[in-house]
Amino acid sequence: MAIDDAPSDIIIGQIEEEIATDSYLPVQVLRMGTLTGLPGGVAEILSSLLKTSPARFQRRFVTVLKEFSAQMKRIEDKIPDRRYYLSEEFQSWLRLVIEKLHATRDEAKLRAFGDALANSGSGEFPDEEEKEEFIHILRDMSIRDLRILKDKRLTDRKSVV
């Protein structure tokens, strides 16, 4: 059974529209002037962080979600049991990725998170420990590190030290 394109694309579109609004609590708090009593430039710094952080985080999450959905469609024939994505194990991997979204701004790495989450349900990971190591390594490495690992000079027997 093919993964239906329309529902996930519609939901992702709705999320993107909601992110564009000013309905976030931090924005409302700033409008009320709650932070203005803080000393020095602290209020301005906090105001700036509070105003942009939720939207920035959510845009990053949508990037991961879009790639997750696209990768699920690409590998649908390799997914032995779709119920895996409802499991506690999958929720653990998703939490690990979500924790890293505040500090990850590279779009390629965000897409790699989406791919990794989708791929975790494929038959390519034989055990839970291997999935956990993979997700932790992906979280800890920069996108530059990941690109270097793909460099064919690393796999060429002649150039290996």
pTM score of the predicted model: 0.66
C-alpha closest to that of 51 among 70, 81, 30, 67: 30
Give the 3-state secondary structure percentages of the chain, helix then strand then coil, rounded to 5: 80, 0, 20
Distance (Å) of CA 94 to CA 104, 111, 113, 125, 134: 15, 13, 9, 16, 13
Question: Which residue spans within the chain are E strands per DSSP?
Answer: none
**Is the predicted pLDDT of residue 11 greater than 70, yes or no?**
yes
- What does the alpha-carbon distance between residue 145 and residue 138 come to, in Å, rounded to a whole number? 10
The per-residue pLDDT for range 80-103, each reduced to its tens digit, is 988 988 888 888 889 889 888 888
More confident site: 53 or 143: 143
Write down the pLDDT at residue 110. Answer: 94
